[in-house]
Structure 1
Amino acid sequence: MDEQMGNEPFEKINNQIISEFSKTLEMFSLNKTEAQLFVTLYLNEGPMTLDEMKEGLGKSKTAMSYAIRRLLEFNLVERVWQKGIRKDLYEAREDLYKKFMKTYVNRWLESLHRQINNLSEIKENLDESSHQQKISIEHKINEAISFHQSLEEVFAKIKKNDFL
């Protein structure tokens, strides 16, 4: 009982860290469960099973399974092996900053490139509306393309400058 009471302040601090850190990770397009799971794995001293994750976060095993698959897709966690343990084990990858920035910057660049192409296609396919309307719409599309290209340049510089 005394040991359990001694863990309460640590558990409270751990929960606060998970809560605050996961808010930051949600800005990188992780949902709340994925962010909380990543932080839990990151803070844990060793790899965890889905059952341990489920117990630690108070979520269903299905939710943990989905979240771990997404984190694997983003290359933020890895499956590890330990002798004598038959269940899958997972742990957070090292180089936290580089992993998140690489994922984030690449997703932004892909999205920006797609938007520039889509806007250019819309511009090319403008129908024969009145000349004045067409000029106004083309101007707005050009502004939107320019905006996306500016963002693309910023993210390309971040990627190029070896932050990743």
Structure 2
Amino acid sequence: MTQNDIQIINEIEEIKNEAILTLAKLINLYGLTLSESRLFSIMFLENNPMTLDEMSQSLGMSKTSMSTGVRSLLDAQMVERIWKKGIRKDLYMVEKDLYKTFSNAFIENWHSAIYHNTKTFNEISEQLNIISPKVDDPELQIALSQYSQKIDSIIHFYKWLAEVFKEIQEKIESRQ
């Protein structure tokens, strides 16, 4: 191999590293850790399914870390386990449609946040409704009533958000 070939290989590696880092920054916005984001990026930019050993070697991280990362990516429906005849190790491959991958992850994160936050604010509203009749002080009643109205407006906002994301999800599903 010539010196020129070695230089070109090094330049290609730098380009690949920049692509992985840049894509990982985007994916990180979807609620994954930076290592999970880099893992997805490497898997996406590879043309072939990868084993945990190959992922570990590519990222220079432990196989246990790769297993944890893949599990998160499986949960987010960003990768899938595949089978190939003659290969005994599990292989993983990313969803090649970035639109589908990111929209699924994005919407799932929002659905989860909306569900949990709505549940919490409904519990707060119930607590306020229990406490409110016990209050004798007129100023405290007014303050509590105003606070309760704000909590109700937050719950209404979350219901609206849930509808918005339901519509977005329906549009995405009709695209597929």
> Within the alignment, does 1:139 sit opposite 2:159 as a pair?
no
Partner of 1:113: 115
- Against the structure 1 CA distance between its residues 94 and 143, is the aligned structure 2 distance closer, same or farther, given a 3 Å change threshold? same
> Within the alignment, does 1:152 sit opposite 2:152 as a pair?
no
Q: Deviations over 1:59-110 (max 9, x none)?
A: 1111111101111122211222233322222111232211321232133123
The answer (yes or no) to whether the contact 2:31–2:109 under 8 Å persists in 1 is: no
TM-score (norm. length: structure 1) = 0.88
- For 1:42 and 1:71, how far apart are their aligned partners in 2? 12
- What is the alpha-carbon root mean square deviation over aligned residues? 1.9
Q: How does 1:28-107 map to 2 (within 5 A)?
A: 28-107=30-109
Task: Give runs of ≥4 in structure 1 deviating > 4 Å.
Answer: none
- For 1:109 and 1:73, how far apart are their aligned partners in 2? 14
How far the C-alpha of 1:23 sits from its partner, in A, is 0.7
How far the C-alpha of 1:136 sits from its partner, in A, is 1.9
Q: Structure 2: which 5+ runs fail to align?
A: none
* Structure with greater helix percent: 2
Q: Structure 1: which 5+ runs fail to align?
A: none
Partner of 2:10: 8
Q: Identity over aligned residues, as a percent?
A: 36
The answer (yes or no) to whether the contact 2:20–2:42 under 8 Å persists in 1 is: yes
TM-score (norm. length: structure 2) = 0.83
Letter of the 2:170 partner, please give it.
K
- For 1:53 and 1:82, how far apart are their aligned partners in 2? 17
- For 2:146 and 2:64, how far apart are their aligned partners in 1? 51
